[in-house]
Structure 1
Amino acid sequence: MKKVTKVLLVLAVLFFYSPVLAEEVPPVTVTPDPVTIHLTITNGANSAYDNDITVTACNSDNGATTEVKVTAYCAILQSGVESDWNWDWAPGAFLNSLADIAGYTSQDSTGGDVYHYWSWSLNGGYADVGLNQHNLEANDLISLSFVDPIEETPEVTPGEDENTEEQKQSLI
């Protein structure tokens, strides 16, 4: 009977004190290797940045997780060009302004909205995810350009009649 009591006592001690004895294993965090890309930032004919850059992993989701990735968002932050972001569009980050140029909405002559914004392309093609969602690969070409549509107006010299003699005769 003494043996059974000792065994039960040892089991009880191990059961109740096992959390104290157990080592907590920290989660394994994998940090991706840096990636070298080419980054261009332009506004019309003006260039704010046009260089190769080695991009290191960063938190690309505004702190929603502890995961780090090597993204185009990280490239912009690490380029040193001033930027402002809007995280209301999660999981994608919206680029409000870059190089002190902010997007805005104006109206055309008919009252329709005209959007002026930062657009980005990946290796010469249209990018279909947010800057913070694309995982960079070596030698990617990331291009950001400010879309600033200008309403075209027809060029007519004042006093010039646009109709030719033939057109005038057909109107008679």
Structure 2
Amino acid sequence: MASSTVVSEVYITLAVVIAISIFSASVLGSLQRVVDIEREKTSDLKIKLGTRVDIIFAAQYNDTAVKLWIKNIGVESIHPTLIGNKADLFFGPRGLFERIPYNSTPPTWIYDLVSDRDGDGVWDPSETIEVTVNSDSTLSPGDYYLRYVTYNGVYSEYTFTI
């Protein structure tokens, strides 16, 4: 009888140890996923906080186009693939502005990195891009609104009069 009790206790102990091991492995795996997610969120937040741009000037270029200059005033560089296709530009008369697609048929916009100090083609801090917005119609006199939004949601706004 005593040996039967000992064997039963050994089985119960083994079952408890196995159950605790399985539970611990699943909890530790979940905790590791949480740590990885938080690490990624922190990295994304660091980049977003380091990204700052400022539309420093805008003016009519011709009857159907506007030029604006945007300076990278943050601490993060912006790769060329993120400046155009991954960004958003809104333009139009105040209250009637629209999102303008990048590098397509008018209305459209294109950019040129005009102060690429190190010649690497990357929009580094303190460098400026020149943006040309081509409208599909003649620009009429009035107040116009511009908003440039970077790939990660940081934006700058500018209002000017034609």
TM-score for the superposition, normalised by structure 2: 0.38
**What TM-score do the two structures reach when normalised by structure 1?**
0.36
- Higher fraction of helix: 2
Structure with more relative contact order (C-alpha pairs < 8 Å, separation 6 or more): 2
